[in-house]
Structure 1
Amino acid sequence: MNSPSEMWYSITNEEVVFTPSVLIYQERVRSNLQQMIELAGGTSRLRPHVKTHKIPELIALQIELGIEKFKCATLSELEMVAQQGGKDILLAYPLLGPAIEYFLKLCKRFPSVKFAVTVDSYEAATALNTASAQAGLTTAVFVDLDNGMHRTGIAPKQALQLIQAIQTYRNLEFSGLHVYDGHIHSADFGARKQQTEQDFKSVEDLVATLQQQGISVGELACGGTPTFPVHIQHPDRTLCPGTPVFWDEGYTHEMPELKFQPAAVIATRVISKPNGYICFDLGYKALASEMPHPRLRFLDLSIDEVINHSEEHLVIKSKQASELSIGQLVYGIPKHVCPTIALHERVYVVNQQEVVKTWQVAARKRIY
């Protein structure tokens, strides 16, 4: 069992907490953001991803700390950031269908905000250009590059022609390159750095070609959290980490050189003890479950075996079963915090080990 001094996560007013839920520790959030800024050498190169938290108050906090640029994955996130006063917002997701019209409506609704969106195909670029012309707007675009992730993005060797085509469109403005190297996550920093640099060579070749042809590269928005400490070392790159605001159990093990503190904790209660096991009210509707077990680390309880994880229940075997009582609140750090947060309508905010309020996870909702 942890000593009282180690139980930073324990709250004094557990009786007000519904479970399963997420507790956000304000002091740790601020400390993580300050450390992120310090590592980046200031705020000018930061474009943090908001997908981890989706919370308006945390956009406001980052703006208070001097961050002006943000990266989003959804229109809901984009709208939330604009509403909170973000000045420069990149939607790193291809727009197609009715999403294009909604995006352009946001551009008109927030005329002082610098919006941009990624494209990786002629089809998406053409559709966006046509809609922008009809709306009487010029849309800033980043070309999304695939340097190994193989999710979205065009191969750097093929990107030149797309960029040249974009420059012929009257209602698109080529504003930069976007590179997400999320396929790189070795726990060994040396190996992670080597792969990051190796996989970035094709991007550097493209940048050199663009410069030779007199094409301004604009912004080079790079990486996520795993490659954040690598891209830091290149002053010409904008940095796009997301997870440091909350941190999680997965990155604690995958990136031991980064010393961010877990700031988002799962609260769950023992609801039954069948056959000597422990059953919690923590199904996969409240905890990200795309990965194998363990999907969280309990902070004061060891898991010997996961017996069952279903929609509303988590059943485990533990040598400490006799120490827990029905109704007892137990704390844990999720392995993957980003999708876990998206499963919750609101989160509890903890200050000095007391729940003081809730925040709405506003951008978890779809816009339709």
Structure 2
Amino acid sequence: MDLASLETPVPVVDLDIVEANLKRMQDYCDAHGLALRPHIKTHKIPALARRQLELGARGITCQKLGEAEVMADAGLDDILISYPLVGEPKAERLAALARRAKMRVSIDNPLALETVARAARHGHEIGVLVEFDSGNGRTGVTSIDGVVELARAIRATEGVRFDGLMNYPVSARSGEILRDLLPRLKAEGLEPPVISGGGTPNAFRTHEMAPVTELRVGTYIYNDRMTVGAGHARWEDCALTLHVTVISRPRPDLAIIDAGSKVFAADIMPGGPGEGHGYFPAYPGAKLHKMSEEHGMVDLSACERKPQLGERLRVVPNHVCPVSNLADRVAFARGEAFQGFTDVAARGRSQ
């Protein structure tokens, strides 16, 4: 088989671009003394996680227990879950993971700490990172006093270990908070062994923004329209493209492709929905302006040259992570040479 013979829609991953992206990030981390702990939420494929480790990553990051279970099944044994876990069922699953992998979990509240402590009662110590919020408005302790109080509680809890701090995304504000926070923790005898920062768009500026010791990045392995727009990557650094086919041309300025929201997800660019849901390298003026579940409506009014009925197109998605999660498998390629299909083993693991 070759790429042109694959049925569409199909996500295609160029392994040569993947390799270049991985080496670029690993080289940056090595040059600045950062431990790289890649987030597998972007690719969800154990073979790619193993390659990240082979190139020098210290371990992996997962967002949910289900992802971590898939990775542990594949033999990966140093895992951070960068998400608060709450409740007895989560504690039981975390305990099972801790029997076969070195586990760390981030928390921002006492109930999440209690969940980790319940898991640790089964006999395996679990590391804990306290997440602090630097303005993202998502998870994270929102005050320095709150971080210190939670770190004290971790130290006083049997079976868990205070492993440090976590923040997403790392930013100049992260650095400001750490300048005030670190002396407070040192005075308490709670100097953090790890300061973990995350986020691909500003990854190569991490060393300038905050004194982090570990970098969690996911999107960098594939890149996407958002990372290109943020200046992190070039179009030629985008390893995953969606191959689609023009199935209808109802008007001269409109093409219908065989992929909609079940393939592209619904992420929009920072400029808003008017920018469309993907980038067409061969037709830069085209805009995927509207989708139903199985149809993509492409506005061609800004294209001097227009795609023909039956033509195969390649599209760089706005945000690649949910695209991975929508696909049971991806096609691996090297340039135009098809290498085979690979299951996206951790897709759909939302628990």
Q: Distance in 2 between matches of 1:321 and 1:281?
A: 22
RMSD: 2.4
Letter in 1 for 2:329: R
Letter in 1 for 2:224: D
1:182-197 equivalent positions in 2, closer than 5 A: 196-197=171-172
Partner of 1:78: 68
1:145 aligns with 2:132: yes
Q: Distance in 2 between matches of 1:256 and 1:93?
A: 25
Query: 1:272 Cα deviation (Å)?
Result: 1.1
Partner of 1:186: none
Query: 1:223 Cα deviation (Å)?
Result: 2.3
Query: 1:201 Cα deviation (Å)?
Result: 1.3
Q: Distance in 1 between matches of 2:185 and 2:256?
A: 59
Query: 1:102 Cα deviation (Å)?
Result: 0.9
Match of 1:272 among 240, 248, 265: 248
Query: 1:299 Cα deviation (Å)?
Result: 1.3
Give yes or no for contact 1:231–1:237 (8 Å, CA) kept in 2: no
Query: 1:62 Cα deviation (Å)?
Result: 1.2
Q: Distance in 1 between matches of 2:221 and 2:289?
A: 32
1:296 aligns with 2:278: yes
Give yes or no for contact 2:277–2:288 (8 Å, CA) kept in 1: no
Letter in 1 for 2:320: V
Gaps of 5+ in 1: 1-10, 183-195
Identity of aligned residues (%): 29
TM, length-normalised to structure 2: 0.89
Partner of 1:105: 96
Q: Distance in 2 between matches of 1:99 and 1:119?
A: 13
Query: 1:235 Cα deviation (Å)?
Result: 6.3
Query: 1:353 Cα deviation (Å)?
Result: 1.0
Partner of 1:225: 200
Partner of 1:55: 45
Match of 1:64 among 36, 54, 57: 54
Partner of 2:173: 198
1:364 aligns with 2:347: yes
Deviations 1:230-276 (A, max 9, x none): 22346652111211100111111112577971110110001111133
1:309-324 equivalent positions in 2, closer than 5 A: 309-319=291-301, 323-324=306-307
Partner of 1:128: 116
Gaps of 5+ in 2: none
Query: 1:229 Cα deviation (Å)?
Result: 1.9
CA distance 1:260–1:171, shift in 2 (3 Å) = farther
Query: 1:71 Cα deviation (Å)?
Result: 1.1
Number of matched residues? 340
Give yes or no for contact 2:154–2:162 (8 Å, CA) kept in 1: yes
Q: Distance in 2 between matches of 1:66 and 1:364?
A: 25
